[in-house]
Amino acid sequence: MTAIITIADKFRNIFQRFSRFGTWFLEHQRRNLIAIFSLFILIAFSTTVMVNITPRPSNLPSTELNMPVSFGTLNKTASLTKSVFNKNNGVLELHYTISDGAVSDQDLVDISKIKFTAMTDHGGNQVTGRVVPTSNNTLVVQFKNLSHNFNAVTLTAHDKSINTATVEAPSSVVADSSSAKKTNANSNTASGKFIINRDKVSKSNTLTFASQEELEVSESEAKIAAQQKLISKNTNAIVEYQKAIDQQQSSIKKYQKILAQFDDSDTQTSIDNARDAITQIRTQISDAQKNIQRARTNISQYQKTRKQVQEGKSLLPKPTGL
């Protein structure tokens, strides 16, 4: 009974306090409403300032690494392979690999015909950029003095090579009108646009605005490392292929013992299948050996290129500004 009275007293006190608050609010209604209205105005103003001033990543999705993006009208693609940013000095480094789908040798591209244009979102007033060729099919786009709070960088790849299929030589006025429509349609194909958001780039406190020579040497070393990895994988594959041959040969011996005791057509078929498998595996071994030889040749070429660059004899075009 005492507990019930205590709970009732607590509810009575709460009700009395709420009643006194209501009375106070009504007595100062005008001042309180002005205060509430001012608070809403302050919140709205603060939100507007934060949205317009505070840097934020782009609303557009960032282009994924190693995803080929078509550009131009000659089947070329560009892939962003690495993006690194040093917020301390505002250096952003974007690595690209260019592929030419019109030819079988993907490592040979006229890199002098590949151009980029760029636009920065909240990048700062002092930002500058350039395109640096690093090999026959790779280049680096560099920015410096980029704001550490940049929202995003948008780059567009362009192929300055002439596509004769898009050059029109009309034979009449009617044909000229038709070709004009075709030219406008072709100009809108393969935009080659890349979006790099601040929250997607790798961070580095040691990244500097490297020279073309440094970038070329680094690219050669990266290609050498990739070829060495390729050799290692093919060498391991040959080991596994040889184990598979040994297993097939062991199976053939077992089948031959069975066949010596029982003249069974299924056993003979199993032997024939095992021999066919060995032939296929030996072909795979041959292909792997060719891969290794090709990789070694590439390593030799990349080593020569590295030495040539270190001696100041690079054959690549000079960097161009964005």
User: For the chain, how big is the Rg over CA atoms in Å?
Assistant: 35
User: Taking 70 as the threshold, does the pLDDT of residue 23 lie above it?
Assistant: no
H or E stretch including 84? Answer: strand 76-86
pLDDT digits (tens, 9 = 90+) for 69-106: 999 988 899 999 999 999 999 999 999 999 987 554 55
pLDDT digits (tens, 9 = 90+) for 167-222: 777 776 655 555 555 555 455 456 899 999 998 999 999 999 999 999 999 999 99
User: Taking 70 as the threshold, does the pLDDT of residue 25 lie above it?
Assistant: no
CA separation, residue 265 to residues 85, 183, 251, 262, 277 (Å): 68, 68, 16, 9, 18
Comparing 10-19, 149-158, 261-270, which segment has the lowest mean pLDDT?
10-19
Average pLDDT, the chain: 85
Q: pLDDT > 70: what percent of the chain?
A: 76
Q: pLDDT > 90: what percent of the chain?
A: 59
> Closest Cα partner for 225 from 157, 130, 306?
306
124-134: average pLDDT = 94
> Closest Cα partner for 223 from 145, 112, 301?
301
> Closest Cα partner for 219 from 296, 308, 285, 286?
308
The pLDDT score that the predictor gives to residue 12 is: 65
The pLDDT score that the predictor gives to residue 93 is: 98
Return the ∠ at Cα 318 (arms to 106 and 159), rounded to 5°. 45
The pLDDT score that the predictor gives to residue 24 is: 57
User: Taking 70 as the threshold, does the pLDDT of residue 32 lie above it?
Assistant: no
Beta bridge partners of 133: 139
More confident residue, 242 or 21: 242
User: Taking 90 as the threshold, does the pLDDT of residue 57 lie above it?
Assistant: no
Q: Which of the given ranges, 41-50, 56-65, 110-119, 180-189, has the highest pLDDT on average? A: 110-119
> Band of the pLDDT at 37, cuts 50, 70, 90?
low
Distance separating alpha carbons of residues 233 and 220, to the nearest angstrom: 20
The pLDDT score that the predictor gives to residue 125 is: 86
Query: Quick one: DSSP state of residue 191?
Result: B
238's tokens:
């040959």
13-24: average pLDDT = 63
pLDDT digits (tens, 9 = 90+) for 226-284: 999 999 999 999 999 999 999 999 999 999 988 888 777 788 889 999 999 999 999 99
